[in-house]
């Protein structure tokens, strides 16, 4: 178990020799220990927002550990509390688990068992604190922080750059992989700029047939071509006094690149089949997956017209700090009562490569929120259709093996209602190995009793 120094352990034990021995063992494992000789001193030493865990003997001189349990949980419901009991107190300890205790240790216990149990409790605590921090961010986020979600340095810098160039009336290129949210960034840039009262008009250059490109951009007069029954205003004209967003601009046909360059220079459009030039005042934001400067199929003079300012939206794999935050945001959007992420879910989310970026994450988060029986690994292993065209969404062999192993242990615990001895016998595992695997996969015995 990795050493921990951030989360403290409050130890409540009236026997000074036992307390000293346990405290030293915890300190050797890297934990910061707060020692208390009785319940009263514990209540005075453990603040309401204590970010650690508690280990308490059941039999204390002033107040029992069982009576102390609800008092501590009242002010800090999510705090893991481990009880230490004598052999005759097992039934009492089982009841305490139902009342909210995390686990119990029967005296005398193996020091390694102590460290294993404490490690499980601390891992659970870290999951809780991380979830609380993310919830606090999502609740307090305002403005751009609420739309372009992320606490990673890359996202903080992106929001700062966006505000900085918002009212500099210059064209912009946004670079980023497919599924990163480039159109969302462009829309945010429009909303915080002085052009926000105008229209935000988007066009995906890869989705428009070349024969229709000119009509889409410039519009047409009635009778301009077969099927042009009435006049149609083009997207550029409709974006007058606003913002025009060209997604996947590297797909724009060469002849349209020439016409687009002329429009940027002259700030006028002419409808197909018309003779009148129409003045437009448009800010153009283009988006591309990779640099246009070295793209032989893209006119460099048009590139220089567009490349007055640049924004870079990093792929999700480079935004590790944001993955859990974004996932929980989209889970909450789909279902406010969705189950919480387990430790294994978090590890899977962070280990996955996210070839489909935020678009793929939204898909997985929505499915996770709507089906309480599925883990994150379950969903990723099914290769959802929305992710197939964005790259492989398969997990590594090691992750698939871990997912299967977790399912087997989880099913065994459910079958035997948390009986460790029966699970050991069923799976032919020694107790230490079973404990280690339960800790690894965040399987808490108390959840099956």
Q: Phi and psi dihedrals of 46, rounded to 5?
A: -100, 110
The reported pLDDT for the residue numbered 6 is 53
Give yes or no for residue 357 having a pLDDT over 90: yes
8-139 and 153-313: identical CATH topology: yes
Q: What's the pTM value of the predicted model, to 2 decimals? A: 0.74
- Report the chain's C-alpha Rg in angstroms: 30
CATH of domain 8-139: 3.40.50.2300
- Quick one: how far is CA 7 from the chain centroid? 23
Q: What is the mean pLDDT of the chain?
A: 87
- For the chain, percent of residues with pLDDT exceeding 70: 94
Whether the bond between 352 and the residue before it is cis, its omega within 30 degrees of 0, is no
Residue 248 CA: distances (Å) to CA of 77, 169, 306, 397 = 50, 22, 13, 35
Q: Write the pLDDT tens digit of every residue in 20-42.
A: 999 999 999 889 999 999 999 99
Give yes or no for residue 118 having a pLDDT over 70: yes
Q: Write the pLDDT tens digit of every residue in 380-436.
A: 876 443 343 334 445 566 666 777 788 888 888 888 888 888 888 888 888 888 888
The reported pLDDT for the residue numbered 279 is 94
- Residue range 331-358: mean pLDDT, rounded: 89
Q: Write the pLDDT tens digit of every residue in 199-237.
A: 999 999 998 888 888 888 998 888 777 777 788 889 999
The reported pLDDT for the residue numbered 88 is 62
- Residue range 309-319: mean pLDDT, rounded: 94
Domain ranges for the chain, please list them.
8-139, 153-313, 318-447
The reported pLDDT for the residue numbered 23 is 94
Q: Write the pLDDT tens digit of every residue in 29-87.
A: 889 999 999 999 999 999 888 999 999 998 899 888 889 999 999 989 989 999 998 76
Contact at 8 Å (CB) between 65 and 56?
yes
Distance CA 102, CA 308 (A): 58
- Report, at the CATH architecture level, how domain 153-313 is classified: 3-Layer(aba) Sandwich (3.40)
The reported pLDDT for the residue numbered 411 is 83
């Amino acid at each position: 178990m990795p050493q921990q120094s951030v989360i403290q352990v409050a130890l409540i034990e009236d026997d000074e020799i036992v307390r000293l021995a346990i405290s030293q063992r915890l300190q050797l494992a890297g934990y910061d220990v707060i020692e208390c000789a009785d319940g009263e001193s514990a209540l005075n030493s453990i603040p309401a927002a204590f970010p650690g865990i508690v280990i308490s003997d059941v039999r204390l001189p002033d107040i029992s550990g069982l009576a102390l349990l609800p008092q501590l949980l009242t002010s800090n419901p999510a705090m893991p509390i481990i009880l230490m009991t004598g052999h005759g107190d097992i039934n009492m300890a089982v009841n305490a688990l139902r009342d909210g205790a995390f686990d119990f240790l029967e005296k005398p216990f193996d020091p390694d068992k102590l460290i294993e149990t404490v490690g499980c409790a601390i891992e659970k605590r870290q999951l809780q604190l991380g979830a609380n921090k993310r919830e606090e961010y999502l609740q307090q986020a305002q403005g751009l922080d609420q739309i372009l979600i992320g606490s990673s340095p890359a996202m903080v810098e992106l929001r700062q750059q966006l505000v900085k160039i918002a009212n500099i009336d210059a064209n912009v290129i946004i670079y980023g992989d497919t599924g990163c949210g480039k159109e969302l960034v462009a829309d945010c840039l429009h909303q915080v700029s002085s052009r926000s009262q105008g229209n935000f008009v988007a066009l995906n250059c890869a989705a428009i047939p070349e024969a229709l490109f000119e009509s889409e951009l410039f519009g047409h007069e009635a009778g301009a071509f077969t099927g042009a029954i009435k006049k149609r205003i083009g997207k550029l004209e409709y974006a007058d006094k606003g913002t025009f967003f060209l997604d996947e601009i590297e797909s724009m046909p060469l002849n349209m690149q020439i016409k687009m360059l002329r429009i940027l220079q002259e700030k006028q459009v002419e409808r197909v089949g018309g003779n009148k030039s129409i003045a437009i005042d448009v800010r153009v934001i283009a988006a591309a997956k990779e640099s246009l400067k070295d793209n032989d199929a893209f006119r460099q003079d048009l590139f220089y017209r567009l490349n007055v300012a640049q924004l870079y939206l990093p792929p999700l794999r480079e935004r590790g700090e944001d993955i859990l935050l974004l996932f929980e945001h989209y889970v909450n959007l789909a279902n406010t009562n969705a189950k919480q992420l387990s430790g294994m879910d978090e590890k899977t989310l962070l280990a996955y490569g996210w070839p489909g970026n935020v678009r793929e994450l939204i898909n997985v988060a929505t499915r996770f929120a709507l089906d309480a029986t599925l883990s994150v690994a379950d969903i990723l292993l099914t290769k959802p259709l929305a992710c197939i065209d964005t790259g492989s969404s398969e997990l590594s062999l090691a992750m698939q093996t871990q997912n299967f192993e977790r399912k087997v242990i989880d099913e065994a615990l459910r079958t035997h209602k948390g009986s460790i001895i029966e699970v050991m016998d069923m799976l032919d595992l020694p107790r230490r190995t079973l404990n280690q695997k339960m800790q690894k996969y965040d399987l808490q015995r108390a959840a099956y009793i």
